[in-house]
Amino acid sequence: MANWNIVFQLKLLLLIVFVVQYSKATRLSLFHPFGSTNEPQGNGITWAVLVAGSSGYENYGHQADVCHAYQILKRGGLKDENIIVFMYDDIASDPNNPYPGVIINRPNGSDVYAGVPKDYTGESVTADNFYAVLLGNATAVKGGSGKVVASQPDDKIFVYFTDHGGPGVLCMPNDPFIYANDFIKVLETKHEMGTYDEMVIYVEACESGSIFEGLLPADLNIYVTTASNANESSYAAYCDGFNTCLGDLYSISWMEDSDSEDLRVETLEQQYLKVKIRTYDNHSSEGSHVMQYGTLGISKETVSVYQGSTPKKSSAHTLQSSDSMDVVNQRDADLYSMWQMHKKLTEGSQQKEELFKKIKEITAHRTHLDSSVDMIKGYLLGNEQALVRDKGSALVDDWGCLKLMVRTFEKYCGSLTQYGMKHTRTFADLCNNGVTNIAMDTATKHTCSSYKMGRWNPALVGYSA
């Protein structure tokens, strides 16, 4: 009887060892309800696509964000061959930069520009190249390094996008912009190709929730967090005392968290919750609501799966207090930067006068955009209230109609610019209320026939749709 007990105990011990080893081999948690992984499974690797969708020193923060994100991933062990960077690359050498050749993402911060790959810069920072890179379609890429996400079925993908935006749209430095339906179609195509295991997307932009709300299916193995919901602006940060804003509130929140935490332990959900609190900026009017979409079960995985892991002895920045964020509405960040530069220029200098003239022109065009959209809406809808869509619905059903409305407006009234993209919701309302393009053409031509577009002529700067 004693011998039988010994044999039984030995068999039980062997069974326990087998189960533990099997769990390690497959990297699955036996106790996690979602069955998610903490690291890429099998021979899978992690890819990353980092996109700064703006240009100009007044938009400094977006490129600084992307450079900082690169340093986190590089420090975490991702290889340059698997990190693809989109950035206009015009701020490090800008004459307004007090530290030539250097980019910082926080006050007194270290250089985050050093070593950043220049995959797609200048004219190659386009929506079409972004789509081609995600799909791994090297033949469709125009310009740049030619690097694409050549991912395999076991691979993970991390996408980070930072820029201006509007309802259903993300801006790019070269027209046309990224429209939500096109982006979602790319993600669905990538899923159909079967060339990734799971994907995580972080998006910093005004109304960034509208890119995914009512559009992103929950079964694509894609987890998304956004800086704002579908109806509000996001915020630039670290603006006080500088000629420009050094970063963006949501972006520096997740990156400074990644700098300070053990990413092998912290989950995506934990990071999301902390960033959500910080980005709301203590329930102030100068904060936004961070949102999540898609396959929410992925949030139970550790951040290290997508960003790599940094030893705790790293000298990375620590998380800053929300009291020192110095935030500015994203849509005003460029003018804020110009006014800061204007203050520091010598009184009566030609440079100061030219900058003031530029500020006046931009302000006048914005006033024109706002008043023109209001007039067109009133002309087409009268006193009728636009149809209210159900909560959680996509911005519009007919995206072709929305793009045509945008092009028609820009044809007669000038470029919407990054500021005017907030009006895409009005154009979507026109589509949802059955307004035809013929009616839109007539109303827009009547409203803007006498407006001198100047440098905002779409024939010069391109159409955003």
Ranges assigned E (strand) in 94-209: 156-162, 165-166, 169-170, 178-179, 198-204
| Contact yes or no for 105/65 (Cβ under 8 A) | yes
d(CA 435, CA 439): 7
3-state secondary structure 74-109: HHCCCCHHHEEEECCCCCCCCCCCCCCCCCCCCCCC
Beta pairing, strands 46-52 & 169-170: unpaired
- Contact partners, residue 57, CB within 8 Å, separation at least 6: 90, 91, 94, 96, 97, 243, 244, 337
Helix (H, G, I), strand (E, B) or coil at 346: coil
Q: Look up 164 and say whether it is catalytic.
A: yes
Choosing from 206, 239, 413, 448, the catalytic residue is 206
Q: Which of 111, 114, 131 is nearest to 49 (CA)?
A: 131
Tell how many helices (H) and how many strands (E) occur in the chain.
Answer: 14, 12
Strand, helix or coil for residue 347: coil
Distance CA 288, CA 277 (A): 9
Q: Taking the CB of residue 449, how many other CB atoms lie within 10 A of it? A: 9
Q: How far, in Å, CA of 322 to CA of 327, rounded?
A: 10
Cβ count within 10 A of residue 282: 11
Q: Is 67 a catalytic residue?
A: no
Which of 62, 67, 68, 164 is flagged as catalytic?
164
Q: What is the DSSP string of 264-305?
A: TT-BHHHHHHHHHHHHTTTT-SS----EEEE-GGGGGSBTHH
Q: Residue 176: is the preceding peptide bond cis (ω within 30°)?
A: yes
What is d(CA 13, CA 266) in angstroms, rounded to the nearest whole number? Answer: 32
Residues catalogued as catalytic: 164, 206
